Amino acid sequence: MKNSEQIIQARVLGLLGGHNTEEPFPLFAQLREMGSVFPIQLPMGGADNQVWLVTRMEAVMQVLKDHARYTVDSRKLADNNHVQQSLIGNPEESGPPLFLSNSLNAIDEPDHKRLRTLVSKAFTPKYMESLRPRVQEVADELLDQVQAKGEMDLVKDYANPLPINLISEMIGVPKSDRSKIHEWSEKIANGLGLGRLDPEVTKGLQDFGDYIKQLVVEKRQYPGDDLISQLVAIEEEGDRLNESELISMIQLLIFAGHETTSTLISTGTLILFDHPEQWELLKSDHSLVPSAVEELLRFNGPSTIAGPRYALEDTELGGQQIKKGDVILPLMKSANRDELQFSHSEELDITRKIKRHLAFGHGIHMCLGAPLARIEGDIAFTTLLKRMPNLHLRIPRENVSWQFKLASQGLTSLPVAF
């Protein structure tokens, strides 16, 4: 391997493993120049495993939608790869606690269709639209608590509690337990990376799983008008949903239901601060908020990578020969800056007409909660603009630090004044 490629590989591993917080986009641009599919060696289990990074949109979409050649479920292969275990937990029942290993994100057809059908009725665009008044209420309630102070931490006071309160209401998590849910999610998101499992994550996984199991027990005894009660009722009807599938489904809905939107609101606000001309444009025309949300998702969406895919057969992708069992990592943030798809792709333009981006994935594994995330983002930004038009950072920009989270980058704090 050439020295320059070794340097790039080290930077990629550091970034995806959460060991450094360098600005990722110049690195992604370098990778795209080197090809739409780029090999790196991932040290796992005492050996180097070759992993293919997919950098451009066309190739990423091909991987995400071609289920005949690529699978999310490594159990379909004779040799289980350690990469998946590092991201979503050990799929073995006797191993560490499951985390999403039986969820929609980790299975293919026909089980994927069966599970998605069970929750799809609760996640239709029509139902999501019906939640707008409640989303607005929560946004206003949160800002009411800080309005008189003239300052807040946008992450802790707004971006985090808004989506976690809403998904918790939908799922059936009591108000008293929502802070615990957020704490466990933060531990998991901050402690997992590619080839990385921090020690405290194991306890967080265990506690999270135990809590969900207890919640299911309570919903069986005292069902309510919430999604867990509906899923429990379905499970008791027959073999359509087993216990591990039920637990993983609820974990996914809680975790993904707030992490994505929280990151959109907090990082999106910082990005707008970093582009004052775009921020002023948005303040002068609130009707641009929906297109601004799409552009923020494209420009720096919540997920750096999609879940790993595994080649089911020898195939060709982006001019590279992929062997059966090879691991493929779609780089969503790189694909969303693809120069072949977007003019001036490295620039933020909230008036951009976007046909598609991959912030929520693509194909059957596209994020189930994307309509809700869009509504929450729309209302969150519009409410901020209306109630706090003079919103600005109250610390030096250089003091704002990014933190690597599971497959993404986020902010733990964003002090603002208004």
Encode the chain (418 residues) as per-residue pLDDT tens digits: 567 778 888 888 877 776 666 788 999 999 999 999 999 887 654 445 679 999 999 999 999 999 999 999 887 886 554 444 444 444 444 334 445 556 677 788 877 887 787 777 667 778 888 999 999 999 999 999 999 999 999 999 999 999 999 999 999 999 899 888 888 877 776 655 555 566 667 777 788 889 999 999 999 999 998 888 888 887 666 656 777 878 888 888 887 778 889 999 999 999 999 999 999 999 999 999 999 999 999 999 988 888 899 999 999 999 999 999 999 999 999 999 999 999 999 999 999 999 999 999 998 888 888 889 999 999 999 999 999 999 999 999 999 988 766 566 789 899 999 9
Sheet holding 37-44, edge to edge: 37-44, 47-54, 327-330, 309-311, 70-71
CA-wise closest residue to 247 among 289, 214, 282: 214
Q: Within 10 A of 362 (CB to CB), how many other CB atoms are there?
A: 21
The three-point CA angle 341-346-351 to 5° equals: 75
Question: Encoding tokens for residue 252?
Answer: 């996914």
Distances (CA, A) of 408 to 290, 321, 341: 22, 28, 22
User: Residue 15: what pLDDT?
Assistant: 79
* DSSP string covering 308-353: PEEESS-EEETTEEEPTT-EEEEBHHHHTT-TTTSTTTTS--TT--
Q: How many CB atoms lie within 10 A of CB 177?
A: 12
CA dihedral 147, 149, 151, 156 (to 10 degrees): -80
pLDDT value of position 138: 97
DSSP labels, 175-195: GGGHHHHHHHHHHHHHHEETT
* In the block, residue with structure tokens 């209401």: 169
> Which residues are bridge partners to 320 per DSSP?
317
- Where are the chain's structural domains? 3-417
Strand bridging mode 37-44 / 392-393: unpaired
- How many CA within 13 A on the CB side of residue 262? 31
Cα 418 from Cα 396, distance rounded (Å): 15
- Please state, in angstroms and rounded to a whole number, the distance separating the CA atoms of residues 71 and 109: 10
CA angle at residue 213 from 220 to 182, to 5 degrees? 115
Q: For residue 13, give the H/E element and its range.
A: helix 3-16
Structure tokens given for 330: 């779609």
Q: Can you list the pairs that 210-217 forms with residues at least 24 positions away whose Cβ atoms lie under 8 Å?
A: 211/177, 211/180, 211/181, 211/184, 212/247, 212/250, 212/251, 212/254, 213/247, 215/172, 215/173, 215/250, 216/246, 216/247, 216/250
pLDDT at 93 (0 to 100) = 42
Q: What region does 35 belong to: left with phi over 0, alpha with psi -120 to 50, or beta?
A: left
Taking CA atoms, 164 is separated from 110, 154, 308, in Å, by 31, 14, 26
Q: Is 0.95 topped by the overall pTM? A: no
Mode of pairing for the β-strands spanning 309-311 and 37-44:
unpaired
Structure tokens at 366: 């596209």
Please, where are the H alpha helices in 79-226? 82-88, 111-120, 125-130, 132-144, 154, 161-171, 178-191, 199-221
| CA 166/CA 162 separation, integer angstroms | 7
Please provide the CATH number assigned to the domain covering 3-417: 1.10.630.10
pLDDT at position 94 is 38
Tell me which residue of 204, 181, 308, 305 sits closest to 253, measured CA to CA. Answer: 181
CA distances from 200 to 118, 142, 403 (A): 33, 30, 17
